[in-house]
């Protein structure tokens, strides 16, 4: 049982002592350090593509092109790095195992831009770089990122949480946006289907394979992380402002894209529910609602949390030749905060559910009937006997809650200081 859960259970059970409840010996003996361990895997929406600074970017180009963190475009401002736990100071990026060795919390960051389901547990991921060194010479390199699931080879201890976004590259989000930008409906004549519509029809025609691959990834992660690990699968936001963007992206195209993102999220949620019914500790977190607030924060909206199509290469793009940055149509810093609000809210729900179950399990009615009765009165039966995160709507936290850890539940629970990351 991890320290996060133990601290909260202790807080709940200490409150019961006024009614005559007794702390079980396991809680009393929890003074030993048992770190919270979080592993973050997935694609560019988890790695933080489009949100510099990236780990490793401070290195010279000749060194950078062999740095796995930079090649994966793992951002220091990604949403997994903004996750918090109530009795751990700071956020996960303060505990990145590549920079610090904290006894209290360890964050393993393995997500990679461009990753598909096959790159989680099936095969390595090829990353290519290109940069002109002169008018007639271009330096090109190819590097194989290891399978993301191999990160568990470096994990020492029981994993508490695995976070993930995956599937967007399997269905070709990037290709869909390219089609929108290069084949506007304003240039389409006749009654036949748009190229975009044909492309999306093809995606759904092959979706049984994609679905099977996504489910297998969840199973592979559970196998390596352990049955005690909670797996959090985050969905994707609608990508484009509902009105489109002039001749670049028509309103019809924006509607088609956004409707199919929602359809895709519904399928992911269905796969998660199926896995949960089979006993897997897995949870789906919807982010669409958060990005839809205030009239919408999609690309090209007035207050966009998603980058628009950026036609020029940015200084941290792996391929410095040609046009269009990989930053395009990815959440910006505000989008990462929105993701973090939603996932942090899910973590609170999961932890609260565990606390209630622990409180019920620790009640001893034959010895302390009054205390046990009091606990039963406070804890809702449905919350104890069902999964809270699937039966209860998760409301994303405020910016302040996403940025700062919650205070411990009682004065009895000591807040653990964050270690200073290594320079």
CA distance 77 to 90: 13
Residue 297 has pLDDT above 50, yes or no: yes
Q: pLDDT value at position 185?
A: 60
Q: pLDDT value at position 298?
A: 98
Residue 240: DSSP 8-state: B
Q: pLDDT value at position 30?
A: 38
CA distance 251 to 253: 5
Residue-wise pLDDT for 142-152, tens only, equals 999 999 999 99
Residue 413 has pLDDT above 80, yes or no: no
**Number of neighbours of residue 373 by Cβ within 10 angstroms:** 13
Mean pLDDT of the chain: 84
φ, ψ at 82 (rounded to 5°): -100, 5
- The SS3 assignment for 243 reads coil
Q: pLDDT value at position 246?
A: 86
> Given the structure tokens 């010279």, which residue do they identify?
60
Residue-wise pLDDT for 153-173, tens only, equals 999 999 999 999 999 999 999
Q: How confident is the model at residue 391 (pLDDT cuts 50, 70, 90)?
A: very low
Long-range contacts made by residues 22-30, C-beta under 8 angstroms, separation at least 24? 22/364, 22/367, 22/368, 23/362, 24/362, 26/1, 27/362, 30/1, 30/3, 30/6
Residue-wise pLDDT for 84-112, tens only, equals 998 899 999 999 999 999 999 999 999 99
Q: pLDDT value at position 73?
A: 99
Residue-wise pLDDT for 305-317, tens only, equals 999 999 999 999 9
CA distance 185 to 187: 5
What domains are defined for the chain? 36-363 (3.40.50.1110)
Residue-wise pLDDT for 119-135, tens only, equals 999 999 999 999 999 98
Handedness of CA 20, 21, 24, 27 (dihedral sign): negative
8 Å CB contact between 232 and 283: yes
Q: pLDDT value at position 191?
A: 59
CA triplet 170, 173, 178: central angle to 5 degrees?
130
Q: pLDDT value at position 394?
A: 60
Q: pLDDT value at position 181?
A: 83
**Global pTM?**
0.81
Residue 289 has pLDDT above 80, yes or no: yes
Secondary structure of 193-237 as H, E, C letters: CCHHHHHHHHHHHCHHHHHHHHHHHHHHHHHHHCCCCEEEEECCC
Residue 397 has pLDDT above 80, yes or no: no
Q: How confident is the model at residue 367 (pLDDT cuts 50, 70, 90)?
A: low
Characterize 81-103 residue by residue with b for buried, 16 or more Cβ atoms within 10 angstroms of its Cβ, and e for exposed. bbbbbbbbbbbbbbbbbbbbebe
Residue 389 has pLDDT above 80, yes or no: no
Residue among 35, 30, 6 at smallest CA distance from 101: 35
Residue among 151, 1, 8, 139 at smallest CA distance from 65: 139
Q: pLDDT value at position 346?
A: 98
Maximum CA pair distance of the chain?
Answer: 84
Average pLDDT over residues 30-39: 81
């Amino acid at each position: 049982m991890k320290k996060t859960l133990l601290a909260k259970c202790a807080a709940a059970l200490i409150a019961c002592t006024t009614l005559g409840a007794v702390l079980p010996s396991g809680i009393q003996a929890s003074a030993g350090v048992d770190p919270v361990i979080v592993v973050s895997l997935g694609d560019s929406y988890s790695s933080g593509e489009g949100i510099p600074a990236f780990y490793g970017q401070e290195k010279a180009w000749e060194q950078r092109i062999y740095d796995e963190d930079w090649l994966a475009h793992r951002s220091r401002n990604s949403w997994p790095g903004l996750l918090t736990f109530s009795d751990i100071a700071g956020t996960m990026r303060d505990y990145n195992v590549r920079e610090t060795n904290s006894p209290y919390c360890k964050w393993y960051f393995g997500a990679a831009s461009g990753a598909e389901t096959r790159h989680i547990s099936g095969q390595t991921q090829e990353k290519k770089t290109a940069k002109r060194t002169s008018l007639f010479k271009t330096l090109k390199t190819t590097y194989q990122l290891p399978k993301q699931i191999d990160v568990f080879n470096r994990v020492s201890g029981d994993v508490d949480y695995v976070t993930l976004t995956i599937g967007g590259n399997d269905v070709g989000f990037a290709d869909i946006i390219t089609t929108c930008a290069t084949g506007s409906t304003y240039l389409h004549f006749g009654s036949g289907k748009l190229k975009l519509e044909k492309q999306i029809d093809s995606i759904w025609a092959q979706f049984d394979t994609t679905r099977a691959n996504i489910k297998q990834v969840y199973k592979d992660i559970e196998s390596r992380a352990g049955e005690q690990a909670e797996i959090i699968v985050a969905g994707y936001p609608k990508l484009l402002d509902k009105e489109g963007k002039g001749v670049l992206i028509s309103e019809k195209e924006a509607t088609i894209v956004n409707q199919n993102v929602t359809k895709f999220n519904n399928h992911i949620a269905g796969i998660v529910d199926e896995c949960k019914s089979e006993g897997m500790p897995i949870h789906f977190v919807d982010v669409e609602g958060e990005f839809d607030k205030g009239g919408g924060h999609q690309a090209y909206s007035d207050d966009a949390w998603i980058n628009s199509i950026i036609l020029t290469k940015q200084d941290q793009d792996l391929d410095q030749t040609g046009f269009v940055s990989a930053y395009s149509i990815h959440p910006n810093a505000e989008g990462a905060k929105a993701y973090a609000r939603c996932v942090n809210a899910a973590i609170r729900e999961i932890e609260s559910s565990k606390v209630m179950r622990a409180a019920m399990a620790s009640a001893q009615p034959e010895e302390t009937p009054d205390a046990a009765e009091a606990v039963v009165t406070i804890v809702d039966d449905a919350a104890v006997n069902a999964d809270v995160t699937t039966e209860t709507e998760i409301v994303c936290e405020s910016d302040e809650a996403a940025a700062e850890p919650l205070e411990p539940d009682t004065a009895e629970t000591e807040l653990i200081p964050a270690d200073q990351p290594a320079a």
